Amino acid sequence: AHFVVVGGGPAGIELSLALRARFKDMLDSNLSITLIDSSDGLLVNETPANRKALESVMSKYNIDTRFSLLVDEVTSSHVHVHSSKDQSSREKIPYTHIIWATGAEAHDLSWSLNKQCGLEVSETRGWIQVNSYLQSLSHPYIFAAGDCCEIVNDNKKSPPKAGVYAVRSGPILIENLTRFVGASKCAQELVPYHPQDDFLKLLMCGDGTALGFRFGIPLYGKWVWKLKDFIDVMFMDLFDVNKLPKLDEKKDEYDTAQYDASIERPPPLAADDAAKLLLRTDDDVDFHRAWDVLRDMMADDKYKNEVLDIARLSVDKQLSEII
């Protein structure tokens, strides 16, 4: 079996690794996986250390990666591609199974509303353009959040298309919708959404381990997978009907705090101990404590810099342990 995954973003990477884990025992040497992408490499916006760690993981699990390729056509047996650097360089990549994982696109509704009533969207991609209140620039009674929109802010670039931004804009969206329709006494005082500059990225490797990126350094091991699973389950648990947002009768507004804001943490570890903990790859790491360190770093820039100064000196050693 030859799987071809089109798209080298986090989804394509995780799918490639999941396919290897799922079918390696069944197919053994008869299994090959090729990941193709139009960019010059995997996750090109990550730090060199993070990209090197990812390359090591892909090599370890025997995922063939092909870059700077654009798909022209998909037949029943081959993916026809050409090089983004040389139009004349063309080839046919055989496959038995193909998975498409090429990232977000605008809703058809966005384009339709743009044509029908002038809803303001980005010119080439069709993202609904909103202000910091998640409110349409052209139609103030329309709100949008997540992948379908682009936040227009003179001081800051709109965040990338990632689930964490959709999740964290949710409480703000609920609050602003209820305020706008007059369900709140503060009907005109909308709440701005302030997207974080970066976020914890966690990639499942398929074998009970995961690779993570935060603050420019790679994290790897079973503890990273346990952390990913814990965060995902905690988030899904929010959809229990008993845990949905409720109107505070005293404040007459929704709680816009993030879903993980109430989790208490012990006092921070010493910077040296914190750096050593984050870079450990053994099976005995307490993921709860490691997550505490990451959250402490997010809350205190001075502490974050102290930990990173120490951690960066040991990153090369950690990378050698991944392979």
Q: 252-300 pLDDT, tens per residue? A: 555 656 656 656 789 999 999 999 999 999 999 999 999 999 999 999 9
d(Cα 139, Cα 133) in Å, to the nearest integer?
Answer: 13
pLDDT value at residue 82: 96
d(Cα 131, Cα 230) in Å, to the nearest integer?
Answer: 33
Nearest Cα residue to 171 out of 261, 263, 257: 257
The average pLDDT across 111-121 equals 95
* Residues near 299 by beta carbon (within 8 Å), at least 6 away in sequence: none
CA 26 from centroid of its chain's CA atoms? 30
d(Cα 127, Cα 146) in Å, to the nearest integer?
Answer: 10
pTM for the whole structure: 0.84
Q: 120-179 pLDDT, tens per residue? A: 999 999 999 999 999 999 999 999 999 999 999 877 889 989 888 988 898 899 889 988
Is residue 173 within 8 Å of 232, Cβ to Cβ? Answer: no
In angstroms, the Cα distances linking 76 to 40, 80, 94, 187 are 27, 11, 9, 56
Q: 181-234 pLDDT, tens per residue? A: 885 555 568 999 999 888 999 999 999 999 999 999 999 999 999 999 999 998
Q: Which structure tokens are listed for 111?
A: 């384009």
d(Cα 59, Cα 67) in Å, to the nearest integer?
Answer: 15
Nearest Cα residue to 31 out of 42, 17, 44, 47: 17
